[in-house]
Amino acid sequence: MPSKVGLVYSDEYLKHDTGNHSESSKRLEAILSLLKEKNVLKYLTFIKPRKADLREIEYIHSPSYIQEVREICQGGGGFLDSDTPVSSESFEVALLAAGGVFSAIDRVVGNLDSAFCLIRPPGHHALKSQGMGFCLFNNVALGARYAQNKHHLKKVLILDWDVHHGNGTQEAFWHDPSVLYFSIHQYPHYPGTGDIKEIGEGEGRGYTVNVPLPPECGDGDYIHILKELLSPIAKEFKADITFISAGFDAHRDDPLGGMGLTSQGYGALTSLVKESSKKIVSCLEGGYNLKSLGESVLTHLDSLASRPEGSRGPRGREFNLFPKERINEEPIKDVSPVRSKSLMATASDKYRRTSNGVKEIVKEVKEIHSWSFK
């Protein structure tokens, strides 16, 4: 049977007005118009988002920060940091973004297999008491707590494949072994966190897994990392629900990242996540090339909706969106960071040592962590 996939969306998300900014309402409009053009909405179950209430936002954020965001917006808007503009409507839209994740969770705990939250503002950089990097409230972190508090799910896995490290999500669960945070990101890069040695503390030690990569890693590298690291960890951790912090800015055409993923690559990654997950709630984070963003979301949804690889029975609801590009599954053996020399200049000596190959980074993650790897 093909999988039942939900889609969270509301035109209200367009009202978070950031002006002339990479993170604009044009992103959602581009995705939605491609979904309509390819006639795939009929395969998805529409989920109407609700607004989170303030107590729910306090699962992750301090009351004083919530109040601060509210006041800036009520005063007509402003900036949470130099990258993060807010308009008069942004506070309410951010409540609807987090609440949209809650609505998705309610349905996925019910009869849906997965859901994609087509929401903004994004969330994974938002810290307990500070908005940053285009993020107001941490949608995925809030979703993880909601799943635990409201649905009594015990263990949550968060996969963050946005090209930027999700410093806010890492902070939220740094001491917590019930939420496993696994991030693949360009490093060093904004926001500066996500070193391979950042693994959590106290009871949470080992439950933060960072896979920092040099620029220009492609589909094969990411597939290698999911197969070698995420899959064995997910099998051992046995999460009750999996969240994806689904940024699409590791695409090779993205203006804010230096990575080399293709649109089809996101579909391949999604299929791999499905193999080791019971229920999936995927939430839009970054992705700033409007064309590749739309295409990547399509292949992501296509894989979420398709029948699992190797299963019997009739063909699933594969959308057959565009001619399948051949994905090179072989990880590249040596990575020479050509495009981002200036970024590499800030790397520590330690990082230079590991940056000579993705396979070596994978090996180092296995040495640092005590999960059972093959």
Closest CA to 173 of 151, 201, 196: 201
Residues 6+ apart with CB under 8 A from 16: 25, 86, 87, 89, 90, 93, 94, 120, 121
Q: What is the DSSP string of 142-197?
A: HHHHHHHHHH----EEEEE-SSS--HHHHHHTTT-TTEEEEEEEESS-TTS---TT
CB nearer to Zn ion: give 100 or 122: 122
> How many Cβ atoms sit within 10 Å of the Cβ of residue 130?
17
Residue 270 in contact with residue 236, Cβ under 8 Å? no
Closest separation in Å from C-beta 159 to Zn ion: 14
Active site residue 251: no
124, 125, 189, 224: the catalytic one is: 125
Position of tokens 């107001």?
136
Closest separation in Å from C-beta 191 to Zn ion: 10
Q: What is the DSSP string of 200-256?
A: --GGGTTSEEEEEE-TT-BHHHHHHHIIIIIHHHHHHH--SEEEEEE--TTBTT-SS
Closest separation in Å from C-beta 286 to Zn ion: 3
Closest CA to 144 of 171, 112, 184, 164: 171
Residues 6+ apart with CB under 8 A from 232: 371, 372, 373, 374
Position of tokens 């936002």?
57
Closest separation in Å from C-beta 172 to Zn ion: 17
Closest separation in Å from C-beta 330 to Zn ion: 26
Closest separation in Å from C-beta 254 to Zn ion: 9
Chain residues in the site for Zn ion (CB under 5 A): 162, 164, 247, 249, 286
Residue 363 β-bridge partners: none
CB nearer to Zn ion: give 51 or 164: 164
CB nearer to Zn ion: give 61 or 164: 164
| Closest residue to Zn ion in the complex (CB) | 286
Residues 6+ apart with CB under 8 A from 317: 2, 43, 305, 306
Closest separation in Å from C-beta 120 to Zn ion: 12
CB nearer to Zn ion: give 245 or 264: 245
CB nearer to Zn ion: give 183 or 354: 183
Residue 219 in contact with residue 212, Cβ under 8 Å? no
CB nearer to Zn ion: give 66 or 101: 101
Residue 135 β-bridge partners: 132
CB nearer to Zn ion: give 49 or 168: 168
Phi and psi angles of residue 269, each rounded to the nearest 5 degrees, phi first:
-65, -40
Residues annotated as part of the active site: 125
